[in-house]
Structure 1
């Protein structure tokens, strides 16, 4: 019996980069067979500036209608191009509380966040990316505005610290099947000269790039990702360490997110919930 589709939640602030984020999400959904829902939350304190109850209700209703129209236009412009249905919800209230309520009620498998100009998604000055990393145990995609995933095109996939690190991404084999060959593997290890080698793993041709851990390791990795035109890098955020590799907790995942100008797919933690 076929499993249910993966639930993909896109959290958006409706800025200019949202259409690019949705495009990357559509590409992901086509590869893994997922359903997309976009969720937008407007902070109530940004909408209601007066104590008058009637005036506040009118303001909220007006803001709701304006946001609803903007979302509909945004979704139509991309869903028509790629023949994908995108559902959406919007709310006015406390941003973090609304997001937590949504996650608890709908239990998304994957949460997608946009990233602009090397900065993670923010609402009202709060770092929502940091909040989601702490709140959601499932898979998270940080969608970069440059070099996005392209629907119906081969994926330029990179994997950090070994192909075995995808064990907490249940649809990893689907991604690999859509990826350009050879598959690019990147390793940051505790001690070695920077090397490059080609090998074969499980009948999949791979190229491996190995870097020594140090102050410039993330910058070096970023340069190679750009040079090899990678548009999605898989990272395991579970706290495992072995074979002389440096795990992502030691690299500081927030530092990795801020410095790598590429879309990132962060694995779920080992105890994460996955919709079946």
Structure 2
């Protein structure tokens, strides 16, 4: 059986270590290999009109980045016996990422949690860019509450359950988690709230939140209270409404746990 591949897109800033740690944790849970890609923007490196000088600067910057990567990755590879490959790109960030994703064909892309001063790509930050252009599964690793290798996994679902997120990868994760599962649902009115509550099962505990200005804050509180460290979000392209897309964006911006956003090309099992 082909081994799954996790691609980590890293900026080599202060939260890279926590992003890699979450990726390694995920790899141990689903038996996947890890590949890391870092891009240096060419215009930030080349300041000379001399071609020879520019090439020398590029080589120096790439070597420095490789050394930084080795410093981050080697302890994880040694401590958790996981194979981690890496590559440094140089050029237009958007184009380099697109090309590398096409070449490497990952099953999951792992990103660090967006920061207030995040890298911009043609008006989008990296997270928005990946979610718009990559149809596969994306994990956004929390910088403060990321996954820990060889630690317990506590899964929650946003507006879904085990049947609406039924893919091979999520099934592998569910096999590793403690039960009962937690389902967190955002509804627009009280009637929906009552209907959703009546659908709860013995295997799943449902929390239902009526949509208002405090919804995401309340959701975040209950995720923390229930010690959820991975929130699964279904982004099936066939059913996702503008409202649901807005909710996902709010969760990405404001919820401080790792998020596991499913593929939008795979028909979900019912």
TM-score after normalising by structure 1: 0.87
Whole-angstrom distance in 1 between the partners of 2:190 and 2:177: 28
Whole-angstrom distance in 1 between the partners of 2:72 and 2:25: 17
**CA distances 1:76-124 after superposition (whole Å, capped 9, x unpaired):** 122211111100111111111011111111211110000155x595367
1:52 counterpart = 2:47: no
Whole-angstrom distance in 1 between the partners of 2:234 and 2:183: 13
Match of residue 10 from structure 1: 8
**CA distances 1:120-153 after superposition (whole Å, capped 9, x unpaired):** 9536785111110111000000000112111112
Cα shift at 1:18: 0.9
Whole-angstrom distance in 2 between the partners of 1:192 and 1:26: 41
Match of residue 129 from structure 1: 127
Cα shift at 1:224: 0.9
Cα shift at 1:259: 1.0
Cα shift at 1:39: 0.2
What RMSD in Å do the two structures reach over aligned CA positions?
2.5
Match of residue 255 from structure 2: 260
Match of residue 109 from structure 1: 107
- Unaligned residue ranges in structure 1 (runs of 5+): none
Match of residue 270 from structure 1: 265
1:131-170 pair list within 5 angstroms? 131-163=129-161, 164-167=163-166, 169-170=167-168
1:230 counterpart = 2:225: no
Match of residue 208 from structure 1: 206
Q: How many residue pairs end up in the alignment?
A: 262
- Unaligned residue ranges in structure 2 (runs of 5+): none
Counterpart of 1:35 (choices 33, 46, 69) is: 33
Whole-angstrom distance in 2 between the partners of 1:150 and 1:72: 20
Q: Which has the higher strand share?
A: 1
Cα shift at 1:159: 0.8
Whole-angstrom distance in 2 between the partners of 1:147 and 1:165: 25
Cα shift at 1:186: 0.8
Cα shift at 1:63: 0.5
Contact 1:10 1:36 in 2 (8 A): yes
**CA distances 1:196-230 after superposition (whole Å, capped 9, x unpaired):** 789545xxx32111111223222211111122221
Whole-angstrom distance in 1 between the partners of 2:126 and 2:200: 39
Contact 2:36 2:87 in 1 (8 A): yes
Cα shift at 1:52: 1.1
1:149 aligned counterpart, secondary structure: coil
1:178 aligned counterpart, secondary structure: coil
Contact 1:143 1:262 in 2 (8 A): yes
Contact 1:237 1:266 in 2 (8 A): yes
Tell which deviates more after alignment, 43-52 or 262-271: 262-271
Match of residue 66 from structure 1: 64
Contact 1:8 1:108 in 2 (8 A): yes
Contact 1:197 1:209 in 2 (8 A): no
1:84-95 pair list within 5 angstroms? 84-95=82-93
Cα shift at 1:179: 1.1
